[in-house]
C-alpha cells in the first residue's frame, strides 16, 4: 500500500496543506512545534479513523475554525482509493465517496504501522502500553477483534458500576455482566495469544546487523488457567466478586493482560540495556509489518515520528536499512540525521509544508 496524497484543511495548525508523497522514503523536517507530528496524526486517522493523540477529536480542529478535513488518496493492490474525514460537532467518513457508518468498517481496510517515541518505552512502561500495542496490531489484522474489544470495555464498565453501586438490587444483575465478560474475554485472550505466537515466529528473522540475542515474548493473561474456556473465566469472576466489591473494580480479565520479553532467556525489562530494549522494540515493529504483509500481500506504509533522534547512530542506520520495499514517512528536526538518503524532502514551518527537492 502507498499513500499518494494528503490534503488538510483547518487541521491542527494547518489552514490548508497538500503533500504528494513518494513511494519510498519521505522525510518531513522542521523545528519543534511547527506541525510535523500533526501530519503523522492526520495520516494515522486513515488507519484507525481517529486521533492517537487526543480522545476529543474536536481538539484537532484548528483554533477558531468550525471544522477540519483530512483527505487522502492511497493505492491498494494498484487500485486508487480516496478517503475523507470531516470533523465538526460530529465526525463523518467517506471511502471512495461512499459514507462509512461504523469506524470498524475502516479499520483493517487501510494498514499503516506507526512508530512514535512512546513505543520506544514499550518495555519500560506499565502493561497498558503493551496492551495498546497488541490491540492496535490485532485490530488491523482482524477488524472483528476491535469490535469485541469495544464491547468488552463497555460491559466491564457496567460491571464496575455495579460494584461501586450502593444499591443492593444492582448486584443481582452481575451474573449477566459476568457471562458477557467471560465470553468476550476468552475471545480477546485467544486472539492476543495467537498474535504473540505469530510475533514469536517472526521476531528473530526480521532484521540483519542488529544484536542477535534470541527474543521470546511470553503472554501473561489476566486470567488463570485455560483462557479459551469460558466456564473457567466465569468461575473466576464469580469467585472474585467479594474482593471486587471491596476494591470496586474487576480483578480478572484481559484488561489485566500483559506480556514479557525474554532476551536469551533473561527478562529484557529487568536485564536489558536501554539500547537492547530499543532494538527489541524496532524488531517488534518490523515483525508487525511482516505479519501485515503476510496477511494482505502488501507491506504497510510506516510512519516514524521523531524516533531517529532517540536512537544512536548505529541503530538509526541499521533500522532504516532494514526497512525495505515500502513507503516510509519520517519526521525529524534535522535532515542531517539521514545524511544523503534518497527520498522526497518536505520542510515544515509554522503550519506550512513545502517539498524542497
Ligand atoms: N487545534 C489546534 N489549532 C491550532 N494549532 C494547534 C492545534 N493543536 C495544536 N496546535 C499547534 O500545533 C503545533 C504543534 O505541532 P506538532 O505537529 O506537534 O509539532 P512538531 O513539529 O514539533 O511535531 C503547536 O504550535 C500547537 O500550538
Ligand atoms: Mg513532533
Distance CA 110, CA 163 (A): 39
What pLDDT is attached to residue 109?
Answer: 83
Q: Which of 8, 35, 53, 67 to mutate to test the pocket of ligand 1 (most atoms within 8 A of CB)?
A: 35
Low-confidence residues in the chain, pLDDT < 50: none
What pLDDT is attached to residue 337?
Answer: 74
Domains of the chain: 1-112+301-357 (3.40.50.300)
What pLDDT is attached to residue 291?
Answer: 96
Residue 183 makes CB contacts below 8 A (sequence gap 6+) with 230
What pLDDT is attached to residue 311?
Answer: 85
From the CA of 12, the nearest ligand is 1
What pLDDT is attached to residue 54?
Answer: 82
Distance CA 60, CA 45 (A): 11
Distance CA 131, CA 221 (A): 11
Place of cell 522525510: 27
From the CA of 349, the nearest ligand is 1
What's the pLDDT tens digit per position in 262-286?
999 999 999 999 888 988 999 999 9
What pLDDT is attached to residue 308?
Answer: 86
**3-state class of 272 per DSSP?**
coil
Residues with CB under 6 A from ligand 1: 12-13, 30, 32-38, 59-63
Query: Could you write out the DSSP letters of every residue in 190-203?
Result: HHHHHHHHHHHHHG
Residue nearest to atom 18 of ligand 1 (CA): 37
Please tell me the number of Cα atoms within 13 Å of 295 on its side-chain side.
20
Distance CA 314, CA 20 (A): 30
3-state secondary structure 106-153: CECCECCEEECHHHHCCCCCCHHHHHHHHHHHHHHHCHHHHHHHHHHH
What pLDDT is attached to residue 223?
Answer: 96
- Rounded to the nearest 10 degrees, how much is the dihedral formed by the CA atoms of 241, 242, 248, 251? -50
What pLDDT is attached to residue 120?
Answer: 86
Distance CA 192, CA 332 (A): 33
Amino acid at each position: 500500500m502507498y499513500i499518494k496524497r494528503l490534503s488538510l484543511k483547518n487541521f491542527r495548525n494547518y489552514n490548508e496543506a497538500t503533500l504528494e508523497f513518494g513511494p519510498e522514503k519521505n522525510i518531513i523536517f522542521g523545528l519543534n512545534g511547527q506541525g510535523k507530528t500533526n501530519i503523522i496524526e492526520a495520516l494515522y486517522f486513515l488507519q484507525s479513523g481517529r486521533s492517537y493523540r487526543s480522545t476529543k477529536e474536536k481538539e484537532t480542529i484548528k483554533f477558531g475554525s468550525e471544522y477540519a478535513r483530512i483527505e487522502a488518496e492511497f493505492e491498494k493492490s494498484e487500485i486508487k482509493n480516496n478517503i475523507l474525514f470531516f470533523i465538526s460537532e460530529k465526525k463523518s467518513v467517506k471511502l471512495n465517496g461512499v459514507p462509512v457508518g461504523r469506524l470498524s468498517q475502516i479499520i483493517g481496510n487501510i494498514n499503516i504501522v506507526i512508530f512514535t517515541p512512546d513505543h520506544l518505552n514499550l518495555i519500560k512502561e506499565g502493561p497498558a502500553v503493551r496492551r495498546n500495542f497488541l490491540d492496535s496490531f490485532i485490530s488491523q489484522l482482524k477488524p472483528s477483534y476491535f469490535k469485541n474489544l469495544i464491547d468488552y470495555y463497555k460491559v466491564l464498565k457496567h460491571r464496575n458500576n455495579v460494584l461501586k453501586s450502593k444499591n443492593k438490587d444492582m448486584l443481582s444483575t452481575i451474573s449477566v455482566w459476568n457471562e458477557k465478560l467471560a465470553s468476550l474475554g476468552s475471545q480477546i485472550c485467544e486472539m492476543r495469544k495467537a498474535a504473540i505466537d505469530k510475533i514469536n515466529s517472526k521476531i528473530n528473522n526480521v532484521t540483519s546487523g542488529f544484536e542477535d540475542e534470541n527474543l521470546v515474548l511470553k503472554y501473561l493473561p489476566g486470567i488463570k488457567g485455560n483462557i479459551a474456556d469460558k466456564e473457567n473465566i466465569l468461575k473466576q469472576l464469580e469467585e472474585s466478586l467479594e474482593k471486587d466489591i471491596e476494591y470496586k473494580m474487576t480483578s480478572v480479565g484481559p484488561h489485566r493482560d500483559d506480556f514479557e520479553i525474554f532476551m536469551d532467556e533473561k527478562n529484557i525489562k529487568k536485564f536489558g540495556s536501554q539500547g537492547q530494549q530499543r532494538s527489541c522494540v524496532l524488531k517488534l515493529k518490523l515483525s508487525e509489518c511482516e505479519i501485515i504483509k503476510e496477511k494482505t500481500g502488501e507491506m504497510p506504509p510506516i510512519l516514524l515520528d521523531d524516533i531517529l533522534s532517540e536512537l544512536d547512530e548505529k541503530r538509526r542506520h541499521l533500522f532504516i536499512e532494514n526497512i525495505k520495499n515500502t513507503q516510509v514517512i519520517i519526521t525529524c528536526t534535522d535532515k542531517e540525521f539521514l545524511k544523503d538518503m534518497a527520498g522526497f524532502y518536505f520542510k515544515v514551518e509554522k503550519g506550512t509544508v513545502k517539498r524542497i527537492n
